[in-house]
Chains A and B, each alone.
Chain A
Amino acid sequence: MAFESLSERLQGILKRLRGKGKLSPQDVEAATKEVKIALLEADVNFKVVKDFIARVKERATGAEVMESLTPAQQVIKIVHSELTALLGGVNQRLSVASRPPSVYVLMGLQGSGKTTTCAKLGRLLSRQGRRPILVAADLARPAAVKQLEVLANNLGLPSFADQTAKDPVAVSEAAVADAVKRGIDAVLIDTAGRLHIDDELMEELKALVDRVHPTERLLVVDSMMGQDAVKVAEIFADRIGIDGLIMTKLDGDARGGAALSVKAVTGVPIKFVGMGEHPDALEPFYPDRMASRILGMGDVLTLIEKAERTISEREARELERKIRENEFTLEDFLGELKRLKNMGPLDQLLGMIPGFGKIKELGSFDVGERELSRIEAIISSMTREERRKPWIIDGSRRKRIAMGSGTRIQDVNRLLRQYWEIDRMMKQFGGKKGSRKKGVFRGFPSPFGNA
Chain B
Amino acid sequence: MLKGDSGITGTFGVLSRITRGLTKTRTGLSNALRGILGQTSRLDEEALARIEEVLIQADVGATTTAKLVDLLSSKMTGAHSKTSANDLYSRIVSVLSEEITRILGENPGLLLTSGVNVILMVGVNGSGKTTTAAKLAYLLKNENRRVILAAADTFRAAAIEQLEAWGKKVGVPVIKHKEGSDPAAVIYDAVMAAKSRSVDVVVADTAGRLHTKSNLMEELKKCRRVANREVKEAPQEVLLVLDATTGQNALQQARVFKDAVGVTGVILTKLDGTAKGGVVVSVREETGLPIKFVGTGEGIEDLSPFDASAFARSLFDGV
Contact = CB atoms under 8 A, between A and B. Distances in A.
Contacts, number: 135
Contacts of B212: 251-253
B165 A43 contact: no
Interface in B207-266: 210-212, 243, 245-252
B124 A142 contact: no
Contacts of B276: 228
Interface stretch (B4-12, B57-65, B139-147): B57-65
Given A150-B157, A151-B157, A251-B212, A226 B162 contact: no
A255 B248 contact: yes
A386 to B, nearest CB: 44
A231 interface: yes
A144 B165 CA distance: 11
A195 B63 contact: no
Nearest to A277: B125
A227 B279 CA distance: 11
B56 A227 contact: yes
A228 B273 CA distance: 9
A277 B126 CA distance: 12
Given A224-B124, A224-B249, A226-B247, A147 B62 contact: no
Given A197-B273, A249-B210, 16 more contacts: A1-B251, A2-B63, A37-B62, A46-B56, A110-B128, A111-B243, A141-B298, A143-B158, A143-B164, A222-B246, A224-B246, A228-B245, A232-B274, A253-B210, A253-B249, A257-B247
A113 interface: yes
Contacts of B127: 111
B158 A228 contact: no
Interface of B: 25, 53, 56-59, 61-63, 124-128, 156-159, 161-162, 164-166, 210-212, 243, 245-252, 270, 272-276, 279, 298, 319
Contacts of A402: none
A256 B248 CA distance: 10
A225 interface: yes
Interface string A393-416: 000000000000000000000000
11 contacts: A40-B61, A45-B57, A142-B162, A144-B162, A196-B273, A222-B243, A224-B243, A224-B247, A226-B59, A227-B247, A252-B211
Contact of A142 (B63, B166, B252, B279): B166
B62 A41 contact: yes
- Leading 8 A-B pairs by shortest Cβ distance: A226-B247, A111-B126, A43-B247, A142-B165, A147-B158, A228-B275, A143-B162, A143-B161
A166 interface: no
Contacts of B279: 226
Interface in A35-65: 37, 40-43, 45-46
A171 interface: no
A232 B275 CA distance: 9
Interface residues of A, number: 46
A232 B243 CA distance: 15
Contacts of B128: 110-111
A291 interface: no
Contacts of A154: 157
A46 B32 CA distance: 15
Given A111-B126, A222-B245, A228-B59, A46 B53 contact: yes
A353 B63 CA distance: 26
A140 interface: yes
B239 to A, nearest CB: 16
